[in-house]
């Protein structure tokens, strides 16, 4: 009988763990991977927040510019009346369409022809005038609706026709919108605000300032002017009256020599305005976390690099509006 084969005994190696060096290397690699992942997450989160803030800022800027554009397109508007001789059609309102101030108005509650300027380095202000009707404003409710100003308050028809010569029949009184736009700082929240003529106990008066849109930090305005006043002084195209020759600030326009066409020198100069270039500096609704220590750079309304403060994003937006009620196309 054969003996069973003999199996050689299996050699058992001793069980060994990680050495301290291997463990430290593993931990270091793990920490690097974790740090890289956290950095990617933080960068992605910050980029997403910055994109969200920038999108909101762009939308706010579009709203603000559209609001100002809509008002400027109506500047100088007036319904037509027939004068006594029937030769020329005139308008109810024949005064300047706009009046601006560098640095804002000293007292924005005063009458249009009494407005004075601070001439400071802050945001500009502008007053816009036009005949208000229930068709070109949001009318009040009721059986006898009234036109409204820039903040939705009613305006009474109290102005008599300025047409010269006077119309053949007694012209009905009309409502004159006189809206003043400026930048106000409600605490730490800068806003585009407006105040305008509105119905009072004894006629119309300039009402209180009301905020329209927040996060508008600055408004700078230039005026495209002709060589001579353009209002209702010419029925046909005249390059001297209906061609823009230069853009001026409000201070520069006030310093222009008079053409001695209108008796009032202020009206003479501001009746030459054919277009308005508006620049708004907007800021983001919230500060950006982990913003650069020195502040983010942006271009101001003069196209000069500026450094932002408070961690907010900023950008300037520009639009040019033709005063179509003051221009006769060739």
Size of the chain in residues: 330
Sequence-distant contacts of 50-53: CB under 8 A, at least 24 apart: 50/288, 50/313, 53/284, 53/285, 53/286, 53/288, 53/313
pLDDT tens-place string over residues 82-101 = 665 555 556 788 788 999 99
**329: helix, strand or coil:** coil
Band (203; pLDDT cuts 50, 70, 90): confident
Rounded to the nearest angstrom, the gap between the alpha carbon of residue 9 and the centroid of all alpha carbons in its chain is 92
Residue whose token pair is 């961690």: 311
User: Which pLDDT band, with edges at 50, 70 and 90, does 164 fall under?
Assistant: low
pLDDT per position as a tens digit, 228-264: 776 554 556 677 777 889 999 999 999 988 776 655 6
- Give pLDDT, residue 328: 67
Asked if residue 243 lies in contact with residue 273, where contact means CB atoms within 8 angstroms, the answer is no
pLDDT, averaged across the chain: 83
State yes or no: pLDDT of 320 exceeds 90.
yes
Q: Which residues of 64-78 are buried (b: 16+ CB within 10 A; e: fewer)?
A: bbebbeebbbbbbbb
Residue 90 pLDDT: 64
Distant-in-sequence, close-in-space partners of 234: CB < 8 Å, separation ≥ 6: 241, 242, 328
* Local structure of 114: helix, strand or coil: helix
Residue 9 burial by Cβ neighbours in a 10 Å radius (0-12, 13-18, 19+): exposed
What is the 3-class SS of 166-224, one letter each residue? Answer: CECCCCCCEEEEEEEEEEEEECCEEEEEEEEEEEECCEEEECCCEEEEECEEEEEEEEE
Q: How far apart are CA 125 and CA 182, in angstroms?
A: 5
What is the longest distance spanned by two Cα atoms in the chain?
150
**So what's the pLDDT on residue 315?**
92
Among 61, 58, 56, which residue's Cα sits nearest to residue 285?
56
Q: What does the pLDDT look like over 38-76, one tens digit per residue?
A: 777 666 666 677 788 889 999 999 999 999 999 999 999
């Amino acid at each position: 009988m054969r003996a069973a084969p003999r199996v050689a005994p299996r050699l058992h190696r001793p069980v060994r763990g990680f050495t301290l060096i291997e463990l430290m290397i593993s931990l270091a690699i793990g920490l690097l991977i974790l740090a890289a992942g956290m950095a990617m997450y933080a960068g992605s989160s910050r980029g997403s927040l910055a994109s969200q803030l920038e999108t909101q800022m762009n939308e706010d800027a579009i709203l603000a510019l559209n609001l100002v554009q809509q008002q400027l397109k109506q500047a100088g508007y007036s319904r037509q009346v027939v004068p006594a001789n029937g030769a020329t059609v005139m308008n109810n309102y024949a005064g300047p369409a706009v009046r601006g101030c560098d640095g804002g108005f000293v007292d924005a509650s005063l009458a249009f022809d009494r407005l004075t300027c601070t001439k400071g380095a802050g945001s500009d202000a502008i007053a816009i005038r036009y005949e208000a009707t229930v068709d070109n404003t949001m009318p009040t409710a009721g059986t006898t609706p009234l036109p409204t100003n820039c903040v939705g308050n009613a305006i009474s028809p109290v102005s008599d026709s300025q047409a010269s010569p006077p119309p053949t029949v007694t012209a009905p009184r009309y409502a004159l919108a006189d809206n003043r736009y400026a930048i106000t700082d409600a605490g730490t929240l800068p806003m585009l605000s407006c105040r305008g003529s509105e119905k009072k106990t004894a006629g119309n008066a300039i009402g209180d300032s009301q905020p329209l849109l927040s996060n508008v930090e600055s408004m700078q305005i230039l005026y495209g002017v002709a060589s001579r006043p353009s209002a209702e002084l010419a029925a046909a195209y005249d390059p001297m009256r209906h061609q823009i020759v230069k853009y001026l600030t409000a201070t520069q326009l006030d310093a222009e020599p008079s053409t001695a066409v209108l008796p009032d020198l202020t009206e003479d100069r501001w009746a030459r305005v054919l277009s308005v270039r508006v620049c708004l500096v907007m800021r983001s609704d919230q500060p950006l976390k982990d913003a650069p220590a020195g502040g983010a750079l942006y271009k101001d309304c003069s196209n000069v690099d500026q450094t932002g403060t408070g961690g907010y994003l900023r950008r300037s937006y520009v639009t040019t509006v033709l005063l179509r009620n003051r221009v006769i196309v060739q």
